[in-house]
Every structure is written in C-alpha cells, then in structure tokens.
Amino acid sequence: MTDKTLLILDDDAPLRNRLCRAMETRGFTVMDAGTVSDGIDLVRKAAPAYAILDMKLDDGTGLSLVPELRKKRADCRIIMLTGFGNIATAVAAVKAGALDYLPKPADPDQIAAALLQTGGDLPPPPQDPMSADRVRWEHIQRVYEQCGRNVSETARRLRMHRRTLQRILSKHAPRD
C-alpha cells in the first residue's frame, strides 16, 4: 500500500503526541483525534489507510469507529490499543474488524510492524506472554461477564462448583 495515511485516536494527549511523532518518523502521514466524535469527523473528511484506535475513551470506545472506517475505506488496516487488556475485548476488537490488538504501552516498532504486516503471516510471539494462570483467570472473567455476572450460571457453564468459582472471583488477577 503506497498510501500511508494514519489516524491515531487516543484520549491520552501526551501518549498520542509521542505516537504521532514516532509514526511520522516511520513514514506515515498522521492525523490524530482525542475523542470518538473527532475521529469520526476526520474519517468522514478523509478516510486513512491505517488506524490506531484506543479501546476506551472519554466519549466511548474506539470500536465504534471501526464501522465508519470500513464504510469509507474497506481496506483500512486497524490496530486497537488498550490499557485494560483482556481476552473478551481482544475478541470483540478482532470481530469488529481490527487487524491486531496490542496492550499499552505498545512499542512504536511493534505497532508499525502490525500495521504493515502482509499476508497470512503470524506476528512474532510476544516478548512477555500471559502466564497460564492469567489465561485461565481471563477466561473465567470472560464467561462470568457473558453470563451477566451470574455466579451460578457461570459455574454451571464452566463445570465447576459455585463456591470454588466464588473463591476464584474474590481474588485479584494473577501476576504475569
């Protein structure tokens, strides 16, 4: 893709400014926004070839910008960034049309590599992957949320005793 226009949507102004400068040095023509509504306005004026969207913003979620991007430019390559990484939001981002989902603070080289990745190549393995305990905890949290935070229903679906599940839910997430 010769068009290297990039939209960066993040409500953290210092992070957004650093990321803008870093992506400009990597050859991108950058436009940025701090709110979902500003991002939608920018996309409607000139749809970018690439987008880096923050998951949670003051006025909504970066996911709400994905349909607008896809409508204006179906080939837009989208990366979601978040400070609140969990499996459920990663799945939602990819289902919405994001190419990749990266936790903050993400390295600009890693972001550029994800944006420019071609074909069906798998991205390189993460430098610091989640532990098996953390993956298990994330899965339980996702099922718990999908069951409307109903402990009994979650325990039934996970095939575990309700009290065991309550003990797991009462503890903090395991450290990676």
Nearest to 16 by CA among 52, 44, 49: 52
Beta-carbon-side half-sphere exposure of residue 95 (alpha carbons within 13 Å): 6
pTM above 0.75, yes or no: no
* Residue 30, phi-psi category: left (phi > 0), alpha (psi -120 to 50), beta (remainder): beta
Q: Which three-class secondary structure state does DSSP give residue 145?
A: helix
The answer to whether residue 123 scores a pLDDT higher than 60 is no
47 in Cβ contact with 71 (< 8 Å):
no
The answer to whether residue 4 scores a pLDDT higher than 70 is yes
152 in Cβ contact with 143 (< 8 Å):
no
CATH code for the structural domain at 132-170: 1.10.10
- Report the pLDDT value the prediction gives residue 158, as an integer from 0 to 100: 93
The answer to whether residue 72 scores a pLDDT higher than 70 is yes
| CATH 3.40.50.2300-classified regions of the chain | 5-116
- Whole-angstrom Cα distance, residue 50 to residue 20? 13
- Whole-angstrom Cα distance, residue 151 to residue 168? 11
pLDDT-based confidence at residue 103 (cuts at 50, 70, 90): confident
30 in Cβ contact with 6 (< 8 Å):
yes
CATH code for the structural domain at 5-116: 3.40.50.2300
| CATH 1.10.10-classified regions of the chain | 132-170
Please count the helices (runs of H) and the strands (runs of E) in the chain: 8, 7
For 97, list phi and psi in degrees, rounded to 5: 125, 5
One-letter amino acid for residue 118 of the chain: T
The answer to whether residue 73 scores a pLDDT higher than 90 is no
- Whole-angstrom Cα distance, residue 3 to residue 141? 40
Average the pLDDT over 106-135 and give the result: 72
